[in-house]
Homo-oligomer: A and B are copies of this chain.
Amino acid sequence: MAVPKRNLASRIHVWARREEAVAQISAAGLADFASTDLREVTADATLIILATPVPFMAAIAEQLATFSLQPGVLVTDVGSVKATVVEQAGSTLRAAGVEFIGSHPMAGSEQAGLEAARSDLFDGAACIITPQDDTDRAQLSRLELWWSALGCRVSKLSPGAHDEAIGRISHLPHIAASVLTLAALKNDPALAKLAGQGFRDSTRVAAGDPELWLGILKENRDAILHPLRDLQEELGRVLAILENMNDEHVLKFLQDAKGLRDSCQHP
């Protein structure tokens, strides 16, 4: 929806695993060509975007590596974990002479499926692309242009640095939201009817698809444990502060957090 709106491609081909999804995509007029046949969909492609859950990307890359793709084709993905994707899907493709660079547009919501699609999904969203030392510079510039033209604020990080950063800024909040939901409602689920906008916002991401998030947490476990331990430490610290209820310490805790939070506004 965003690509034709911004005139970024002459044709859009969509692959989907299920015939029903292909039918839905065609009926919604979202593709010039849609099919369950990966070879047919990718035959003339100059840019291929893997948009499946992370655990399925390696197998798709293996298929792609056996096709005769166009010279100069670039493959990227939109997964939220990068080191394993680059190691697996990326290595498979590059061994077959196809350039792969990882992308992570931080758009979307707790919703899934075609119903959640919006043409302004990428407006102002952060997007991290993860070049390696030997990444083709022209392809890197092209990928940066692609996401910028879609409205993203693009940063570059190595795959490993991406996973560390995202473990802290995206995966940690997901687990924190789930933990908060359990601590608030497990003993008395009827409290949910008293939930205000603050609680709903603080826990929104915990409504995301559990299967999808299981995949993400598995792939990025090592980069998540460290920030989770930091969260545990900060929580212990504030508990001690509240137990003693020293005004100055409580105020400093609230001010420090507000200062950091205020730096997260949209640019």
Contacts and interface: CB of A to CB of B under 8 A. Distances in A.
Given A201-B201, A203-B261, A232-B235, A169 B155 contact: no
Nearest to A191: B169
A63 to B, nearest CB: 25
Contact of A234 (B172, B183, B230, B250): B183
Contacts of A187: 230
Interface in A253-267: 253-258, 260-264, 267
Nearest to A182: B234
Interface stretch (A24-32, A39-47, A137-145, A214-222): A214-222
Q: Tell me the dominant secondary structure on chain A's binding face.
A: helix
A94 interface: no
A113 interface: no
A88 interface: no
A239 interface: yes
Contact of A214 (B168, B198, B221, B250): B250
Interface of A: 106-107, 109, 125-126, 128, 153, 155, 165-166, 168-170, 172-189, 191-208, 210-211, 213-214, 217-218, 221, 224-225, 227-236, 238-239, 242-243, 245, 247, 250-251, 253-258, 260-264, 267
19 contacts: A106-B197, A170-B196, A172-B184, A173-B180, A173-B198, A178-B261, A179-B231, A179-B238, A189-B263, A192-B264, A193-B267, A198-B205, A199-B264, A206-B261, A207-B261, A218-B250, A225-B239, A229-B239, A232-B232
Given A184-B227, A210-B258, 8 more contacts: A107-B197, A168-B188, A173-B180, A179-B234, A182-B256, A189-B263, A218-B250, A232-B235
